[in-house]
Amino acid sequence: IRYVDDFVLLHTSPTVLQEWKKQIALFLHEKLRLQLHPDKSKIIPLSRGVEFLGFNVFPHHRLLKRKNMRHFQRKVQQVHSLYHHEMIIYDDVYNFMEGWCAHAKNANTFKRRQHILSLFEEQYPHEISIKEINRGLSKKKKSN
């Protein structure tokens, strides 16, 4: 699995992984004059999980990192404050929440997202975004 300059290699054999790590380190050093980060390049059993792109990834599930949730909670407070001081519009708040939910959906977060969205709807009971209006209009067109 690769994302920009982060990648994860999976194999059942630690020996094979050790060999791959040597080959990658050699390639990076000789061709790109780069090196693997010593603290972040490790061979571990999958049962311990792998930190990757804000998630703890296990063989059969993914969890959001606690740090990711704390950052989200701080950001929600900032966005809420900006909205109530009329520095941003509701569409900005909605887009922020929609983006976070799309990211969080990659982990086992169904109940957490449902809870957060219910709180969100309680905080903004009479608001509607342009996206919601457009979705409603496109559904209406399809049903006609």
Residues 6-25: pLDDT tens digits? Answer: 788 888 899 999 999 999 99
Strand partners, 2: 7
Spell out the residues 6+ positions from residue 70 whose beta carbon is closer than 8 angstroms to its own: none
In the three-class reduction of DSSP (H, G, I as helix; E, B as strand; rest coil), residue 41 is classed as coil
pLDDT digits (tens, 9 = 90+) for 61-90: 999 999 999 999 999 999 999 999 999 999
Considering the entire predicted model, what is its pTM?
Answer: 0.71
Alpha-carbon torsion 130, 120, 78, 98, what sign?
negative
Measured CA to CA, the distance from residue 77 to residue 96 in angstroms comes to 12
36 within 8 A of 24, measured Cβ to Cβ: yes
